[in-house]
Amino acid sequence: MEANGNILFSGVGGQGILLASEITAYSLLAAGFDAKKSEVHGMAQRGGSVTAQLRYGKKVWSPLIEPGCADIQVAFEMMEAVRYLPMLHAGSTVIVNTQRILPPAVATGQTAYPENVLDHLSSRNIRVVPVDAFDLARAVGEVRTANVVMVGALSAFLPVDTAVFAEVIGTRVPERFRDVNLKAFEAGRQAGW
C-alpha cells in the first residue's frame, strides 16, 4: 500500500469529533493501512477549540502531523477551519461544516465573528469543500448525525471503499441509530463529491 496521508479534525468540544475520527480510523485500518491518532483530553474539552490528528500509511511513526503537512482537514466549524492554517499546505483540502459557533468574546459582544473567514483558505490555494452538515443531518432525521455527515464527505477523498465505511458505521453505532447514520454518511458523501 503506497498511499499515506494526514487528516486533521478540528472543531469545538462536544461536536462529536472523536467519533468521526474513530470511524475514519477504523475504516483506514480495515482497508489495510497502519494508523495513529492523537487526541487531547482534559482541560481542552470544555467547549474550547479541539483537534484530533489521524495519520495513515504503510507504517506510521509519529502520532503528530507536522505543521504544513495536513492533506485534509475536516473542520466542524468555520472559524476552526482557519485556526489551524499553519498545519495546511497549498493544495490541502478543507471539508468544512458551514456552521458558526460563537466563541465567548463574540457571544458577549466584545468582538465580531470574522466575515468571509474561509477566504483565508481559498486565497492560499487550499480547496474548500463546504458542507451544511447540520442541515443534511436534520434532513435525514437526526441532527446529532452531523459528525457522520462530515465523515461521509471526507470518505470521498480517501482511498477506502464506501462499503468499508458502511461496515464500520454498522459496528460502531448502536443498532437503533444505524440506519439514520448510514443515511447521514451517504448524504455527506454526496456533498463531498
The stretch near other proteins (CB under 8 A) out of 1-9, 67-75, 153-161, 178-186 is 67-75
Question: How far apart are CB 79 and other proteins at their closest, in Å?
Answer: 6
Q: Which of 3, 40, 161, 170 binds other proteins (CB under 8 A)?
A: 40
Quick one: cell of 98? 458551514
For position 161 contacting other proteins by CB under 8 A, the verdict is no
Question: How far apart are CB 170 and other proteins at their closest, in Å?
Answer: 14
The strand pairing partners of 6, in sequence order, are 55
Q: Which of 7, 8, 17, 25 binds other proteins (CB under 8 A)?
A: 25
For position 13 contacting other proteins by CB under 8 A, the verdict is yes
Q: Which of 4, 16, 38, 130 binds other proteins (CB under 8 A)?
A: 38
Quick one: cell of 177? 441509530
For position 127 contacting other proteins by CB under 8 A, the verdict is no
At 58, the amino acid letter reads K
Q: Which is nearer to other proteins, 170 or 193 (CB)?
A: 170
Q: Which of 1, 3, 58, 66 binds other proteins (CB under 8 A)?
A: 66
Q: Which is nearer to other proteins, 156 or 167 (CB)?
A: 167
For position 98 contacting other proteins by CB under 8 A, the verdict is no
For position 165 contacting other proteins by CB under 8 A, the verdict is no
Q: DSSP letter string over the chain?
A: ----EEEEEEEETTSSHHHHHHHHHHHHHHTT-EEEEEE--GGGGSSSEEEEEEEEESS---SSPPTT-EEEEEESSHHHHHHTGGGEEEEEEEEEE------HHHHTTSSPPPTTTTHHHHTTT-EEEEE-HHHHHHHHT-GGGHHHHHHHHHHTTSSS-HHHHHHHHHHHS-GGGHHHHHHHHHHHHHHH-
Q: Which of 2, 61, 116, 174 binds other proteins (CB under 8 A)?
A: 61
Question: Residue 193: CB partners within 8 Å, gap ≥ 6?
Answer: 156
Residues that bind other proteins (CB under 8 A): 12-13, 25-26, 29-30, 34-49, 60-64, 66-69, 79-80, 82-83, 85-89, 102-109, 111, 113-114, 117, 120, 124
